[in-house]
Amino acid sequence: MDTNQVTLTAPHDPDRQADLQTVLAAWHAATLRLQETHETLRGEVRRLTDELEVKNRELARKNRLADLGQMASHIAHEVRNSLVPVSLYMGLLRRRVSADRGAVDIVDKIQSGFVALDSTVNDLLSFTADRDPQLSPVNVSRLVEEVYVSLAPQLEAQAVECVSDVADDEMIYADQAMMRRAFLNLVLNAVDVLPEGGRIVATSYAGQDFFELEIADSGPGLTEEQQRRAFEPFYSTKSGGTGLGLAIVYRVAEVHGGDVAAINCPEGGAAFTLRIPARRPLLKRRNGT
């Protein structure tokens, strides 16, 4: 062994080892935080991308509806202008052939066809009407009863029982004509699924922020496609239907700042709920204060 050979050994420094461990721990924690931040950002990007796709689809839908609305409005006005003189001529013709029972029956059938066409025109005009709601106090219970009374002959013919579970003093602040049209369409929609009779129930709920009016029926309920496309314009499962009834309800809810939903009831049948903001009219006191 060479006595002159010297073996060098790295000195053991506890402080340096501790510093190294601290740096490694800090690096590991920073890496974990960076990874968590990265995952959070990825999730946020996915969420924003999904929201953007939804907004783009909704914007495209509104643009299509706007174009469709302009076209439908023009057609509806043209048809209505043509219907007015034809209806007058039909009335004159009916009086002239009043002695011929067979001819009168034919005229009545033609007249019923014009009534159906006029109803379609009214649906188109209601759907394409672009105006802000004229807000005023509306008695919901009275509105419900008015619609039930107006449909009494059809309801009786189909053996449909209509029930109102709305308080007599239930008031909302909305456009009365629009709300009546929306409620009428909801009831007619329920009547259409009860050709052999059944039950329709109107209920309401007045919350702090929203008012809800629900129309439930004892019909067969909704398929997944019907539930998904219920408020889509011109979508109808009825032969001869315009597919605008529920689209008009959606439009009425939309212009009031609300929405409408369709669900199947646990006990059977379907329920449509119209929800609008619970606006409260500022009523002046009689003493002027």
Q: For CA atoms 95, 101, 106, 110, give the dihedral sign.
A: positive
> What are the DSSP E strand ranges found in 63-195?
136-139, 160-165, 171-174
CA 157/CA 154 separation, integer angstroms? 5
Q: What global pTM score does this model have?
A: 0.62
Q: What is the pLDDT along the chain (289 residues), one digit of tens a residue?
A: 455 554 545 555 666 777 777 877 778 777 888 888 878 877 888 888 888 888 887 777 667 666 666 666 667 667 777 777 877 877 888 888 888 888 888 877 777 677 667 666 766 666 666 678 889 999 999 999 999 998 888 889 899 999 999 998 889 999 998 899 899 999 989 999 999 999 999 999 988 889 999 999 999 999 999 988 888 877 877 766 667 889 889 989 998 999 999 999 998 999 999 999 987 554 443 344 4
Check residue 100 and give its pLDDT.
84
Give CA–CA dist 275/203, Å, rounded.
12
Complete domains list, the chain, with CATH: 14-130 (1.10.287), 136-277 (3.30.565.10)
Four-point Cα dihedral 95, 97, 99, 101, nearest 10? -110
Tokens of 215: 């129309």
C-alpha to C-alpha distance for 54 and 266, rounded to whole angstroms:
30
Determine which helix (DSSP H) or strand (DSSP E) holds 253, and give its type and residue range: helix 245-255
